[in-house]
Amino acid sequence: MVKNILNAIKAYAGTFKLIGQLGLWKYFGIPMAISFFTAVLIGFSAWGLSDNLGAFISKIWFWEWGADTFKIISEFIAALIIIAFGFIIYRHLVMALSAPFMSPVSEKIEKHLFGTTHVHRKTSNTAQLWRGIKINLRNLIRELLISIPIILIGFIPVIGLASSVLLFLVQSYYAGFGNMDYTLERHFKYSESIQFVRQNKGIAIGNGIVFMLMLLIPVVGIILVLPLSVTAASTETLKVLQNNKTLNKTV
């Protein structure tokens, strides 16, 4: 799995060149706009909710002494919680809405890498959008169910640091999952795609690690994260699919 994580990270190195070479930027125009405006919307929502959540958390402290200090701590905790959930909602919303624009990108990359495009499942833009909504809603629910206990454990001294790393890896996995499914959509059915990602979770984690780190770059990261991560995920996913196909022929 470590090898797949490193390969998925390395795949980002040639993304700018590949996007320019294949003329893929035109496919990313609307997704980049969706990414930017979704991030702005969630950012303002988080800003408005942080004070309310902080005030709610501060009510846990019943004593007068240290109340002001705990209030500050509560606001900080509230900000971290909102940022964590904001990242989760942002990713899945953007990935779901961008699904119809990503299939042509993956197809062009496959034709460039292997000289042909294998379309096992012909789908319309509507079907691709519905698939994106379905897969991301499924991942959103699962990610929240996993993330909530991790966040709560994070309040325990010492363990908190490990909790932050684990939360980052969980978010990375589901980010990579969504990026991989743009390619898997035309190769596998819904359940088959889930099984494929489970078997190749290293690619999902590696791709998602860079995805998550890019979101930390103000403005530029939000705009470029989808083009670069989808291109990187497509190249690695297609390589695995091609290797599996070759192995099956050999067997």
**Between 164 and 227, residue with greater pLDDT:** 227
Mean confidence (pLDDT) of the chain: 83
Count of Cβ atoms closer than 10 Å to residue 29 Cβ: 11
pLDDT tens digit string along 82-125?
777 777 888 888 888 888 888 888 888 988 888 765 555 566 77
Distance of alpha carbon 113 from alpha carbon 194, whole angstroms: 24
* Residue 246 pLDDT greater than 80, yes or no: no
User: Which pTM was predicted?
Assistant: 0.83
Mean pLDDT for 8-15 is 93
CA distance 19 to 231: 8
> How far is it, in rounded angstroms, from Cα 68 to Cα 61?
10
Predicted confidence (pLDDT) per residue in 193-234, tens digit: 999 999 999 999 999 999 999 988 888 888 899 999 999 999
Choose between 39 and 237: higher pLDDT: 237
Q: Is the pLDDT of residue 251 over 70?
A: no
Return the pLDDT at 89. Answer: 86
> Confidence class of residue 21 from pLDDT cuts 50, 70 and 90?
very high
